[in-house]
Amino acid sequence: MTENNSLSGRVALVTGASRGLGHATAKALAAAGAHVIATARTRGGLEALDDEISAAGGSVTLVPMDLMAPDGIEKLAEAVAERWGKLDILVANAGALGKLMPAHQIPSKTWNEVLAVNLVAPARLIRAFEPLLRKSDAGRAVFVTTSDSAQTRAYWAAYGASKAGLEALVKSWAAELAGGAIRVNLLDPGRMRTAMRTRAVPGEDPQSVPLPETVTPLIVELSSPAEARHGEVVRAGQ
């Protein structure tokens, strides 16, 4: 593993870990010494992650699951409590783009999916895992957001609204935790070479967009017991 052992002995949960930023984040946290609990719907992507982390000498537990399942998040929290008794790091990365179209044309199915993954699932993660973060000596939570939540771009109504809601949710939770040991922040990773971005900007040259790995050092930093920032929107490259 890397010589950076800043997260040695810590337990980290990463959602959406089968590809993109979540995949890269899981590897980076494991490389820093954390035991990673990796969740995603795509079993194949998780198995590839397991191979990569194990080959590098890291430690990972795979949890194939759909965040929209009625009680999946809550059952996961119960399992984490039973096995580890705490959670040190929560990285809520899983996201749904939906369809880019005029607001008046967005079908209910798209609204339900985007809001469920981008807003309701993080709210359920907070409810299920705050008690376990409190069991940590330095609980850390990072929620992936986007500049689109503030730009209110045309055709991005569902995605932008869900991320704006996420920011309000996380900032409110952070205010509730003020003065405690838990640190909660939002991360705007900026442009990244991911499958979601390819769907959103199909004409873009992917080679012109940074890889997700360029953002992971910042996530490791925000996950560290030494991190002091709280209730902030941290933007990569700033």
Q: Which two tokens stand for residue 24?
A: 């890269």
Q: Which two tokens stand for residue 36?
A: 């990673």
Which candidate in 129, 143, 156, 159 is catalytic? 159
Question: Cβ(29)–Cβ(4) under 8 Å?
Answer: no
**Angle, alpha carbons 40-46-49 (nearest 5°):** 130
Q: Which amino acid is at 2?
A: T
**Angle, alpha carbons 37-42-45 (nearest 5°):** 70
Catalytic residue flag (residue 155): no
* Exposure string over 68-93, b if 16+ CB within 10 A, otherwise e: beeebbeebbeebbeebebbbbbbbb
**Taking Cα atoms as reference points, which of 44, 68, 53 lies closest to residue 12?**
53
In sign, the C-alpha dihedral spanning 17, 18, 21, 24 is positive
Q: What is the number of residues in the chain?
A: 238
Which residues are part of the catalytic machinery?
A: 159
